[in-house]
Structure 1
Amino acid sequence: VYTYDRADGSPAGEVIRHEARFAGGRDKKFHQRARTENGWSETGFAPVPFRLPQVLEAIADQRTVYVCEGEKDVLAAEAANRVATTNAGGALAWRPEHAEWLRGAGTVVIVADKDAPGYRRAERVMASLVGRVGRVRVVQAATGKDLSDHIAAGHEIGDLEPIPHLDPFTPTGPARTPENPAAETDSVSAASSLQKEGPDMSLAYGANEHAQTHHDDTVDHISSQWSAFLRVIMMQLIERVRARIEAARKKADDAAAADQEAKARAEAQLAADQAAAEAKLNKLRAAGFADLNRRELADAVAEAVGWSGESEVARQSLALLRTHVRDRYGLDIDPLTG
């Protein structure tokens, strides 16, 4: 249970995390409840950031605030002696109301999950912070998908890796290689840049420090817009693929549901047929088999054999019919085949 407090420390609501492990892995789900005058209500609550009192204290002290994706990562950051926050409702539920609580922060570090929703969330959070905070960095885990994986792998907070095209202070030029050591001088590593704080650091959304120092404004503007354009195109492609997958999944679910309906109808028909057969056998047993002709007797045996696997009435009737036929005709009925 993750409690979301208001600025005065009173509980606004809770996020309840359910997690279960299976042979093939694990699964999780979440639900929210709000604190009201009459107790807890199974509804959502006001858009307050997680650990709001601690966040406000860090902003007042001009300490860095980390924005993670999920409460579990916030607790991992706190274990590493950092102040962190998140929002309830999932990766894309960040709203301007959450960002407003961060107003006045000197540096905000967005820790993005390594997936398309995580990168989209980072862009949304970063856009919401423009004009509200002094400086924004966008980083991701060096190992694994998120901050919890990063720390579990033995990394420090300073090992978080800036994300090119998302982090405003990371150049997007060629990667550093042994053949191209000069590229290293253009880079801004997380280990150094995440430690730097102060009011003189201004937000540079859409451009990077190296570009501002070594290129003219026109080049910076074009590079920034081209990067943004490519991000939009990639997100559209990803959404298109996700939509196609979702459509295929829905089609499969609909087919499975149809199969379930057909199965239910078949099972209902089978139950009705069994009930009719049992009623017929009970009626014959009550009247006795002596007056049955050979055709009627053969039909009764067929019913008893056919339903003997599912029905106790059929099994008992078959035992009586075997005795009757043996006494009447001198024939032994195979109970499996009739």
Structure 2
Amino acid sequence: MSENKVEQLRDEGSRMQVVAAGAIAGLVSRFCIAPLDVVKIRLQLQSHSLSDPLSYARHAHKGPVYKGTFLTLRTILREEGLTGLWKGNVPAEGMYLAYGGIQFLAYRSATQAIDELWPNHKLPGTAVSFVAGAVAGTAATTATYPLDLLRTRFAAQGNDRVYKSLLSSIRDIAKVEGPTGFFRGLGAGIGQIVPYMGLFFALYESLKPALANVSIPMDSLGSSDAIAGVLASMMSKTAVFPLDTVRKRLQVQGPTRAKYVHKNIPVYETGVIRTMASIVAKEGVRSLYRGLTVGLFKAAPASAITMWTYERAIHSLQSFKVLE
């Protein structure tokens, strides 16, 4: 496949078309994977060991005990109903809507800026993808982080609601915790997203041409794009998952910490490294990967849907000459 084809994702479409296509992709993807996201967050916030009978007995009265993806899913359905699987979906939809647009716009702008800064030195496509992906991830994560924090806190709520509505949560956090309360765990978020997005885009654009000539059923639906997105996301997600767990634990710190469905969430010192060290010391290294399975289950369809929808949306906008 030619170099021009490999660079198609970052070169095609006007600025507004890229923003619109990215936003559409994020919105559709989020709605589809919302239940898996809630399950993952619940597992990540569970701080006791399931392999320790004493720990199990000691903490059972402090919230539900989840054992695996499907049992967690069933427990939430039984105790909180179908709507429990979409808790936090409103701020999450807003986050994904903005995140998708900012991410693809920043990615496209970064690659173009790199080409303009070094016009006489053609950098390897993988290197450009890594740098541009890291820049895109950092910009999108920082801009949408307050919505990410709200998504986590709503998903962590049980039947006893901590926040009555999205507006009341914003008002309460601003009043009690101040502006910095909306950015708890941002360091872990950026520390995670920089290598994740860099690896994701680099792997995606490396895998996409390699899979293009593979005979796949339903290729007319763009299956090679979807499979490239799945593989790239799963490999990247596994590499940075401990930072995602740290981010979730930090996001629920503050005065409401003991009011969520897991009422025994520990207090952590400010800082990513200290939090990670504390989790490892008290719960073991495996606890950093609690929820990884469902995280990978979520990452696969999320990335496939995101990239498939983005490719189709940008092509449709171009075909109908919308937002040129």
TM over 0.5: no
What TM-score comes out, normalization by structure 2 length? Answer: 0.23
Give 1 or 2: higher strand fraction: 1
Rg larger in structure: 1
Between Structure 1 and Structure 2, which shows a larger proportion of helix residues?
A: 2
